Amino acid sequence: MIRAGITQLGAYAPSNVLTNHDLEKMMDTSDEWITTRTGIKRRHVAADDEFTSDLAFRAVEDLLARHGVDALAGVDMVIVATNTPDALFPATAAMVQDRFKLRAGAFDLLAACPGWLYAIGIAKSLVESGQCKRVLAIGSEALTKIVDWTDRSTAVLFGDGAGAVIVEAVDEPYGIRSVVMGADGSGGPQLHKRSVGRCLPNGEPLSESLYMNGREVFKFAVRVMETATIEAIEKAGMTSEDVSLFVPHQANLRIIEAARERLRLDRDRVIVTVDEYGNNSTASIPLAMRHALDAGRIAPGDNLLLVSFGAGLTWASSVVTWAPTTRL
């Protein structure tokens, strides 16, 4: 029986940094207001000529730099999870396939912030069914290009970035032990941005820029971060005591703290990068994982608990037993 796992990882955040003090000069806000409500201090912002495909390219290049020039050998599927594709078509994944000259299928996936975990779930199924040998799963976002910079309730939250991993067969006891994916479409009005449509099925107008009902999304997030993580742990045949490291979606420090307390995890078992990057949507978890790897906080055999939530409303969670990787 084939078991799929994550064997390689790379990530990228743009060099341009926007601090809370910078935002004070742009809108009616303050460092104290942003920090106390979100925990965010800085966010990385793509250049004017830098888009989601460019961020994805850089994340894959980081993966190659870390794992060697043959890291993409045999990749036969590319999945890019994103809410900000360069175009409706062609797919950003096809742009990645072409840039790195891969003999692979390619498609984009849109499931809001949990999209990268959805991609991991699909990659796991492709590998374990024998359909694919090696899947390149990417989360890439240029969210600062779709926010309303006059709306302090949302503009302060988001940053840009990308993360890329290889999913392939691994030996026991490593691998992706569980994946949980869920949705509640009745929550669509709480977080949205229009594309070709003008309104939701219930007639509610769609926003030209990113709209979020922060209060309702916060309540949803706190609830689902607990239920989804418990489901993933149980599906993996584990308990919370087996969790080596909790790597949650980096949306808001208060949400992360609420989830940590409900799971009864010590702070040293939780990865927090929201202060540095803000909310990177699909890229937030792989960026946080790179941060943890570089800090020496992830070792082979560690059980990582991953969870995310977002528009849809959607959620996803996973338990991954970290596999040995080749790092240069």
List the beta bridge partners of residue 46: none
C-alpha atoms less than 13 angstroms from C-alpha of 289 in its C-beta half-sphere? 31
Tokens of 22: 């910078």
Q: Report the C-alpha dihedral over residues 307, 310, 316, 322, rounded to 10 degrees.
A: -40
**CA end-to-end span of the chain:** 30
C-alpha atoms less than 13 angstroms from C-alpha of 113 in its C-beta half-sphere? 29
Known catalytic membership, residue 249: yes
Region for residue 161 given its phi and psi (left: phi exceeds 0; alpha: psi -120 to 50; beta: otherwise):
left
Catalytic residue (choose from 20, 113, 252, 280)? 113
List the beta bridge partners of residue 176: 320
φ, ψ dihedrals at 175, nearest 5°: 125, 175
Helices (H), the chain: 20-24, 31-38, 52-67, 92-99, 115-128, 152-155, 214-235, 253-263, 274-277, 284-294
The amino acid that residue 184 corresponds to is: D
Q: Are 290 and 59 in contact (CB under 8 A)?
A: no
Tokens 């009616």, residue?
Answer: 28
Report the sign of the C-alpha dihedral through residues 313, 319, 325, 328, in that order: positive
Length of the chain measured in residues: 328
Alpha carbons 305 and 258: distance in angstroms, whole number: 15
The amino acid that residue 248 corresponds to is: P
Known catalytic membership, residue 279: yes
Catalytic residue (choose from 279, 280, 291, 303)? 279
Known catalytic membership, residue 113: yes
Alpha carbons 15 and 141: distance in angstroms, whole number: 15
Catalytic residue (choose from 44, 67, 192, 249)? 249
**Residues identified as active-site:** 113, 249, 279
